[in-house]
Chains A and B, each alone.
Chain A
């Protein structure tokens, strides 16, 4: 369990969080999705959360974003409790979810409009469009963008609020392999330039090793963090270096084992 002092010093603190959903056909029973999740993120850290689908990764992210509330436990941002969505926690989904009726520029400035600060901060819009290299697409509508471009707009849209924590829910999951690798570098560049704390949910082990300071491995039903691994590789990381591959092998083995274990537990 994480010590209280550590949580308060950190950017994001999660303590003993539990969440269950009603079973669809049987309203009296509830399905435990998250079972006592505890971890904390230091300011400026990039941490990945990996695990098989259905292990509650996305639910955890939605709890942190404030889109859903936990059954018990505490979620803290700085020293404040998370009770509802807020601009200090940005969220990027696998689907960019750009507003199709707004141009690229208006999508990016949506956060400023929503908070009513467009007038003061309008000058930042151009900075963020340049940051993700889309200044020439300012007046294009989302249906003209490729998947990678759309996701860059989504990143800029989330970052313009200067969030304390950026939550990334498999943001690169729908991209093809090449675009995906390019976008990984793009996200790393944004992270290194701004030192935004990032929590990245992914099912891609390579992506987790390539990008993050730490990797948390979750097991499903109910979702638990089985293991946390620090990635002590120098950046920029080489995807085919022996250390990288060794770590990859370790994680694969562990995930395989954990997966089998959870199946055995269930039966």
Chain B
């Protein structure tokens, strides 16, 4: 009998079988390798890379700053001594603490690269002054501004946070409500969708001239603009998530005796949560943009205002200091959103990745 090639091949499995896979990170082999690595000691090179890089960057700086006054370089040199000190403490601590060891193993290359980049920045700006001053100050100057102006920076961050959160919260709440209504109800969809499609894509910042006139205070109008910027993506993605709820989930719920409230709040909305989080993520990006623009043109506080104020005085060290704060501030908020999402979408673990 002639062997049939196709018979010996495993059948194409139904889609269900892919979801049966355990959500463990990798295949068994890779997992074993990882475990061995984690258990082993941290090499000499891995331990010394960060402090060595710090010493290199420090040497670069000291080389160029022989003539400069001590005040200007003091905090920056101290910064590197601190890195070296912390590295030594950590490399002792990691002998007794497994999780710290694997964290250090993971972070070592990127931290080393970051410190070396600082050194490069120092060479290009402070050292040889290859970039025009005062637009491109060296890292020491930025750090000095960061420290000297910390009170105002902290205050600005606080104002930005308050404005961002108030606008974002309003935008999300209104967006969720309108998204659920548009996604669920056909008449609301008929009337609401065209409005959403026409008004939504206008960037919120384009409304600034109008908003500044209409509203009693610039802070309120800025919060409104942020809310508007957030509202559009949240509404759009919530509506699409709700209206794309698998019909069979709704059918099952109805045969279990579900009424309308159950269908909306316990079937359609949970099914839409992955989509809603994409909307929240996009809305967050839009809110950062709107926040900074609104602060630099109207509102007299916050990090956006600080940047344009410092730029007006040609204090570029302060501009970069504010940018560093902004980076830390925004990325912390975004990380927080991802953490909340991971918490809420634990049932999807291993299904999505973004």
Contacts and interface: CB of A to CB of B under 8 A. Distances in A.
A222 B14 CA distance: 30
Contacts of A219: none
Interface stretch (B107-115, B199-207, B262-270, B330-338): B262-270
Interface in B253-275: 253-259, 262, 266-267, 270-271, 273
Interface residues of A, number: 34
Contacts of B248: 93, 95, 97
A103 B20 CA distance: 15
A144 B262 CA distance: 25
Interface residues on B, range: 20 to 34
A89 interface: yes
Interface string B7-25: 0000000101101101100
A90 interface: yes
A101 B347 contact: yes
Given A111-B256, A161-B256, A147 B251 contact: no
Contacts of A95: 16, 248
Contact of B14 (A87, A115, A147): A147
Nearest to B254: A85
Contacts of B346: 141
B268 to A, nearest CB: 11
Nearest to A114: B258
A97 B20 CA distance: 14
Given A99-B267, A143-B347, A157 B256 contact: yes
Contact of B253 (A89, A90, A114, A174): A114
A254 to B, nearest CB: 30
Interface in B316-354: 346-351
A146 B21 CA distance: 9
Contacts, number: 93
A127 B246 CA distance: 29
B249 interface: yes
Nearest to A100: B347
A103 B255 CA distance: 19
A91 to B, nearest CB: 4
B350 A143 contact: yes
Contact of B255 (A91, A102, A143, A146): A91
A144 B256 contact: no
Interface string A69-112: 00000000000000001110111010101011111000000110
B257 A158 contact: no
Contacts of A158: 255-256
B348 A100 contact: yes
Nearest to A174: B14
Contacts of B17: 147
A110 B257 CA distance: 9
A22 B273 CA distance: 34
Interface in B148-199: none
A143 B270 contact: no
A145 B347 contact: no
Interface string A122-164: 0000000000000000000111111100100000011001000
B252 interface: yes
Given A97-B249, A99-B249, A174 B16 contact: yes
B145 to A, nearest CB: 48
A90 to B, nearest CB: 6
Nearest to A68: B251
Interface in B15-68: 16-17, 19-20, 22-23
Interface string A47-65: 0000000000000000001
| A101, A144, A157: residue with the most chain B Cβ atoms closer than 10 Å | A101
Contact of B252 (A66, A86, A91, A145): A91
A245 interface: no
Given A97-B248, A101-B271, A110-B253, A147 B20 contact: yes
B251 A144 contact: no
Interface in B219-262: 246, 248-249, 251-259, 262
| B19, B257, B259: residue with the most chain A Cβ atoms closer than 10 Å | B257
B252 A93 contact: yes
Contacts of A147: 14, 16-17, 20
A96 to B, nearest CB: 8
Interface of A: 65-67, 85-87, 89-91, 93, 95, 97, 99-103, 110-111, 113-115, 141-147, 150, 157-158, 161, 174
Given A114-B266, A146-B20, A158-B255, 7 more contacts: A87-B257, A93-B252, A95-B16, A114-B259, A143-B19, A143-B348, A147-B16
Would you list the 5 A-B pairs with minimal beta carbon distance, nearest first? A87-B257, A114-B258, A111-B256, A85-B254, A91-B255
